[in-house]
Amino acid sequence: MHEWALAEAVVSTALKAAEKERLQEITKIKIVMGELQQIDAEIFASALKEVILPQKETLKNAKIEIKAEKAVFKCRVCQHIWTFAEATNQLNEEESESIHFIPEISHCYLRCPQCKSSDFEVIKGRGVWVDSIEGEQ
- The 8-class DSSP code of residue 81 comes to E
The confidence score (pLDDT) of residue 101 equals: 72
Between CA 75 and CA 73 the distance in angstroms is 7
* pTM of the entire predicted model: 0.78
Q: Under DSSP, is residue 96 helix (H, G, I), strand (E, B) or coil?
A: helix
Residues 23 and 10 placed together within one structural domain of the fold: yes
Say how many domains are in the chain: 2
Q: Do 89 and 33 lie in a common domain?
A: no
pLDDT in tens, 113-135: 999 999 999 999 988 889 999 98
| 13: containing domain | 2-69+125-136
The residues pairing with 134 across neighbouring beta strands, listed in sequence order, are: 28
- Domain co-membership, 65 together with 87: no
Q: What is the CATH number of the domain that holds 49?
A: 3.30.2320.50
Q: For position 86, what pLDDT does the model report? A: 85
CA distance 72 to 56: 37
Mean pLDDT per 10-residue section of the chain, whose length is 137 residues: 83 89 91 88 87 76 91 96 85 80 80 93 90 90
Which one-letter amino acid corresponds to residue 1?
Answer: M
Q: How many CA atoms lie within 13 A of 22 on its CB side?
A: 1
Detail the DSSP E strand segments found in the chain.
25-34, 63-69, 72-75, 81-83, 120-124, 128-136
Whether 59 and 114 map to the same domain: the answer is no
Q: Do 40 and 93 fall into the same domain?
A: no
